[in-house]
């Protein structure tokens, strides 16, 4: 499944609305820390292994396309 993800910083939450997800992250967007936190949060929310989550585009953006399989 493909999702559009928007990231907000300084809060911790996951809101799913259809194929759009709003995620709050507490990690700084440096050296991939925020992307790692995003993958872990989505894996926990959807109850899948982190290996089943792939950031398709937007690695350096607040708006990302994520595939969960």
pLDDT for position 44: 97
Q: Domains along the chain?
A: 2-68 (3.30.1200.10)
pLDDT for position 62: 96
pLDDT for position 53: 98
Phi, psi of 62 (to 5 degrees): -80, -15
Give the mean pLDDT of the chain.
97
Tens digits of per-residue pLDDT, 12-48?
999 999 999 999 999 999 999 999 999 999 999 999 9
Would you say 29 and 10 are in contact if contact means Cβ atoms under 8 Å apart?
Answer: no
- Please enumerate in sequence order all residues whose Cβ is within 8 A of that of 55, keeping only pairs 6 or more positions apart, or say none: 35, 38, 39, 64, 65, 66
């Amino acid at each position: 499944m493909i999702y559009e993800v928007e990231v907000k910083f300084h809060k911790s939450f996951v809101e799913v609305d259809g194929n759009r997800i709003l995620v709050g992250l507490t990690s700084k967007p440096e050296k991939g820390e925020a992307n790692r936190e995003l993958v872990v949060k989505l894996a926990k929310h959807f109850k899948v292994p982190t290996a089943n989550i792939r950031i398709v585009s937007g690695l350096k953006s607040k708006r990302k396309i994520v595939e969960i399989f």
